[in-house]
A and B are shown apart, each in its own frame.
Chain A
């Protein structure tokens, strides 16, 4: 079974990291993922963005299941 997760980035976050999609080893939890992203992309530290796990907004730390899709979502600006 795959231990990787898919990261999808949007808007300003995708622009900053220079990519819309990444595949990573599953770090296990959202907190661990945040730390990993901050190390790999220091420019994200000054940005405000939220996370969605399998298309649902995450409001607190959470276990990341195998094969999960995690989206990095800057503030919405539709309409």
Chain B
């Protein structure tokens, strides 16, 4: 019988630590039907803006709507690709340049499904989740992040 899936919290306060990522990978060692993982890590870039240099991004979200939408995206991707596992973590609050703010992790028997699903998930997360990044500048001002 197929397991019923429920909305999960995807939000993490602050940066996503490399230890959390390592731990998450290690958690899959007992799932021996997995043959390939795909991981995307979003990192805060020190962009040069006309108004100043980015030193951090402060993320806020319409959390309830984002979790509902993330669940819908999860279900779509699970029905489209033969995946064993899927994990999404997005930071909230202030994340400094060089730190990780997005961690998307897919696993499947064979690499292609994991890679394609991971790519599609990242695109949909950026386009469809009500999350906003405020880029904090070294000039003490800020600009609102625009996704390309």
Interface residues of A (CB under 8 A from B): 8, 10-12, 52, 55, 71, 73-79
Contacts and interface: CB of A to CB of B under 8 A. Distances in A.
Nearest to B122: A79
A76 B146 CA distance: 8
Contacts of A52: 62, 65, 130
Residue among A12, A52, A74, A76 with the most chain B CB within 10 A?
A: A76
B129 A11 contact: no
Contacts, number: 65
A71 B65 contact: yes
A71 B62 contact: yes
20 contacts: A10-B61, A10-B62, A10-B130, A11-B60, A11-B134, A11-B144, A52-B65, A71-B65, A74-B132, A76-B126, A76-B127, A76-B147, A77-B133, A78-B61, A78-B126, A78-B147, A79-B90, A79-B101, A79-B102, A79-B125
A75 B130 CA distance: 8
